[in-house]
Chains A and B, each alone.
Chain A
Amino acid sequence: MVKSHSSGTNGVRVDRSVVPATIKSKSRARRHWWKQAAISAMWWFLSLTLFISLWELVTALGWVNTLILPPPHEFIAEIGNQEQFLSPRIGVERVGGNFVLLTAIVATLKRVMAGLVLGFIAALGVGGLACYFELFGKLTLPVITLLAPIAPIAWIPFAIMAFGIGDGAAIFVVFVGIFFLLTLATVNAVNNVDQLYINTARVLGANRRQVMFRVVLPAVIPDLFFILRINFFAAWMAVLAAEMVGVNAGLGAIVMVGRQMFNAKLMFLGMAIIGVVGYLLDVGFRQMQQRVLWWKGSSHI
Chain B
Amino acid sequence: MSEIVCNHISKIWNPDTAEPNLAIDDISFSVEPGEFLVVIGPSGCGKSTLLSMIAGLESATSGTIQFRGQPIDGPSPHRSMIFQQASLFPWLSVIENVSFGLSLQGVGKRDRHNQAKQYLQQVGLLKSAHRYPHQLSGGMQQRACIARALCLGTDVLLMDEPFAALDVQTRHQMQKFLLEIWQGTGKTVVFVTHHIDEAVYLADRVLILTANPGRMLEIVTVDMPRPRDMMSKGFEYHRNLFVDHLRSEVVRAFEEQELAEMLDTRIK
Contact = CB atoms under 8 A, between A and B. Distances in A.
A206 interface: yes
A296 interface: yes
A261 interface: no
Interface in B19-59: 52, 55, 57
Interface in A211-252: 214-215, 218-219
A140 to B, nearest CB: 27
Contacts of B152: 204-205
B104 A203 contact: no
Nearest to A207: B104
Contacts of B91: 218-219, 295
Given A215-B89, A295-B132, A204 B83 contact: no
B104 A206 contact: yes
A214 B101 CA distance: 11
A197 B89 contact: yes
A199 interface: yes
A203 B89 contact: no
A2 interface: no
Contacts of A214: 100, 104
Contacts of B83: 196, 199-200
Interface string B88-125: 01111000000011001100000000000000000000
B77 A204 contact: yes
B132 A202 contact: no
A191 interface: no
Interface in A179-217: 196-197, 199-206, 210, 214-215
A297 interface: yes
Interface size on A, as a range, is 20 to 34
A274 to B, nearest CB: 36
Contact of B75 (A203, A215, A218, A294): A203
A68 B230 CA distance: 86
A300 B148 CA distance: 26
Given A295-B134, A296-B134, A297-B135, A205 B101 contact: yes
Contact of A205 (B57, B85, B90, B105): B105
A214 B104 CA distance: 9
Interface string A70-113: 00000000000000000000000000000000000000000000
Nearest to B57: A199
Contacts, number: 60
Contact of B81 (A199, A294, A300): A199
A200 B132 contact: no
A294 B91 CA distance: 8
Contacts of A300: 134
Interface residues of B, number: 26
B70 interface: no
A205 B77 contact: yes
B57 A204 contact: no
B101 A204 contact: yes
Contact of B104 (A199, A210, A219): A210
B240 interface: no
B134 A205 contact: no
A225 to B, nearest CB: 13
A295 B81 contact: no
B183 interface: no
Which of B79, B80, B100, B133: most chain A CB closer than 10 A? B100
B57 A202 contact: yes
Contacts of A197: 87, 89
Contacts of A200: 81, 83, 87, 89
A218 B96 CA distance: 14
B76 interface: yes
Interface string A270-297: 0000000000000000000000001111
Nearest to A299: B134
Nearest to B52: A199
B198 to A, nearest CB: 22
Nearest to A297: B134
A197 B89 CA distance: 7
A218 B91 CA distance: 7
A204 B55 CA distance: 11
B132 A203 contact: no
Nearest to B78: A205
27 contacts: A196-B83, A196-B87, A197-B89, A199-B52, A199-B57, A199-B87, A200-B81, A200-B89, A201-B100, A201-B104, A202-B57, A202-B75, A203-B79, A203-B81, A204-B80, A204-B148, A205-B101, A205-B105, A205-B152, A210-B104, A218-B89, A218-B91, A294-B132, A295-B90, A295-B91, A295-B132, A296-B134
Give 8 closest A-B pairs by Cβ, nearest first. Answer: A204-B101, A200-B87, A205-B77, A202-B75, A295-B91, A218-B91, A203-B81, A203-B75
Interface of B: 52, 55, 57, 75-77, 79-81, 83, 85, 87, 89-92, 100-101, 104-105, 132-135, 148, 152
Given A201-B100, A296-B90, 8 more contacts: A196-B85, A196-B87, A197-B89, A199-B52, A203-B77, A205-B75, A218-B89, A300-B134
Interface of A: 196-197, 199-206, 210, 214-215, 218-219, 294-297, 300
